Each structure stands twice: as C-alpha cells, then as structure tokens.
Amino acid sequence: MPDPEPSPPRHVFVYGTLRAGGSNDIRRFRPTPHWVGQGCVPGTLYDLGAYPGMTIGGEGRVVGEVYMVNADVEAALDRLEEVLDDDSGEYRRRSVRVAVAGVGDVECLIYEIHPDRVRTAPEIASGDWMKHRLSGG
C-alpha cells in the first residue's frame, strides 16, 4: 500500500508567545515556518500571565503574524497549545480569514483560547501581546 499523500502546508496566525521574539518563537520549529506577513483579526486578547489567549470576533482587533507551516509543525503547535479532540483543551483550533499586510485575506489556522480560561482574565486593549509585554503588562 502506498504512503498517504503528505498534508499540504497551511497558514497559521500567531498572536502571543509564538510571535517572532516571543518565548515560544515559531521560528524555532523545524522545518522553519515561512514568514508571510503581519496580520490582524477581529477578536479580544486576554492576559493569562505568561501568555495570552484570544477569542475570535467582536469589535476589537488582535495583532499577529502569519506563517506557512507543514504538517509536522502544525502537530507540534497542537501539542504546545494543548488542543484536544473533544474541544476541552486549553486552546481550540479554528480557521479564520486574516487580513495580511501587503498580501490580502488569507485563510489561517488560529488557536483560540477555551472560553472557560478567560472568564476572569484582564483584556489587553491594544490587541498586541508584544506591545503589552514591552509596556510591562
């Protein structure tokens, strides 16, 4: 029986510690994800201490970066974000169109925080985790 076809590369939107320079910088994964551009999506960003979580939709905007990743990196991200098949993990995989500077709208995988994890978490008004961390937040 032949090997199954490998999964095609996929875009992922990262908005927290996976951003360039973050504590989980996505560029440390192998093969190295390919930079696509800066992105922005409708959502709310929350401060969970050492990392953020976002919920998709609403009036706010969340700033992040878009990368192209292969199936191995995507699986590693699922483990890092504690995604579970029954949707009870810390994060949930979602597919959202992201406005990417200089590129246009791109369909991206986004890790959305489980709503139970942010019930009492403070919102990050700027929607930008890196700016928030640099300001001492």
Q: Which residue has the higher pLDDT, 109 or 137?
A: 109
Q: What is the pLDDT of residues 112-135, one digit of tens each?
A: 999 999 999 999 999 999 999 999
**What is the CATH T-level fold of the domain 10-134, as seen in this structure?**
Hypothetical upf0131 protein ytfp (3.10.490)
| Predicted pLDDT of residue 5 | 60
Q: CA 126 to CA 100: how far, in whole Å?
A: 18
Residue ranges of the domains in the chain?
10-134
Residue 97 CB neighbour total at 10 angstroms = 13
Mean pLDDT score of the chain, rounded to an integer?
Answer: 94
Say whether pLDDT at 36 is over 70.
yes
What is the C-alpha separation between 68 and 94, in angstroms, rounded?
Answer: 16
Tokens encoding 76: 């590693």
CB 102 within 8 A of CB 37: yes
Confidence of residue 8 (pLDDT cuts 50, 70, 90): confident
Q: Please, how many CA atoms are within 13 Å of residue 33, restricted to the half-sphere of its CB? A: 28
Rounded to an integer, the average pLDDT of 16-23 is 97
- Confidence band of 52 (pLDDT split at 50, 70, 90): very high
Question: Dihedral of CA 114/133/104/109: which sign?
Answer: negative
Confidence of residue 137 (pLDDT cuts 50, 70, 90): confident
Three-point CA angle 30, 35, 40, nearest 5°:
125
Percentage of the residues of the chain whose pLDDT score is greater than 70: 96
pLDDT band at 3 (very low <50, low <70, confident <90, very high): low
